[in-house]
Amino acid sequence: RGKMHYISRLPEGRQLIFDALTEENLVTISELADRFGVEDMLYAPKDTSFVASLLYYFGILTLGGVTPFGKLILTIPNLVIRKLYAESIKEMLLPEGKEGDMAERAAEALCEQGDIRPLCDFMEKKYFKVFSNRDYASANELTVKTAFLTLLFNDTLYIMESEAEIERGHTDLTLIVRPDMREYLVLDILIEFKFVSLQEVGVDGKTLEKMDDAALRALPAVQAKQRDAKAGLARYQEKLRRKFGDVLRLRSFSVVAIGFERLVSEAELLQVFPASE
């Protein structure tokens, strides 16, 4: 874990760790660096190729194939290392132990009670505060999804599927209860993420902070994203039902991020998948 923390402090390290965890933006390099002596660690350019090669050298990325253009694809080798990525990102963003406890309680509210509001509140008040202007420059749904994934990662209870492929479509984030954990009352979770920039909504960050939930939901750009998310949820709910059957206790949510300032969430009221008896 110390190696991961070191890499996260390199110029391209944090973004590369985010990309590797979500598996949406492939980690690709032209060739692997093979020199990591003292001189190289101190003075070599710390670009994406160097950082990715270092992750490979440490054993926390492995070769996953070659692109049509001859570049090497690096992927997370197994679930144990995938969990390490999620935990490392969480520790980067939440160094205080008590904040980790708060995040765990918020995740439990979602997975046990189907209430996503505590998690969104925590994200606004804690996680979003540590994102930098540099993060914002490249922010999108992927950034928000990665943040949620690090808080919800639980491979004991769930099959963790980020951007899971379901019948030639992709869902944003699904938490499917493991077959051997079906005896417990935890819920299956489907979340569709959308992102709206401050420029799109035409409101600055300080104004957003003062707006109540109703005012946020009334913003035209937010409403448009909510409609898109709702349509996506409807498609994926039916596909999940066909894949997993009636054992699902599925709760579905849309989450629209307005910059790194506010979140607007909505539960899908129609319960397509009743709990099995």
What amino acid is encoded at 17 in this protein? Answer: I
What amino acid is encoded at 89 in this protein? Answer: I
**Percent of the chain at pLDDT above 70?**
78
pLDDT at 32: 81
* Lowest-pLDDT range of 22-36, 48-62, 139-153, 259-273: 22-36
pLDDT tier for residue 106 given thresholds of 50, 70 and 90:
very high
Q: 96-103 long-range contacts, Cβ below 8 Å, gap at least 24?
A: 99/126, 102/126, 103/151
Burial of 127: CB neighbours in 10 Å, binned 0-12, 13-18, 19+: buried
Q: What is the pLDDT of residues 114-155, one digit of tens each?
A: 999 999 999 988 888 776 554 555 667 877 888 898 889 888
As a whole number of angstroms, the distance between CA 120 and CA 106 comes to 8
Edge-to-edge strand order for the sheet containing 72-75? Answer: 27-29, 72-75, 62-66
pTM of the model: 0.75
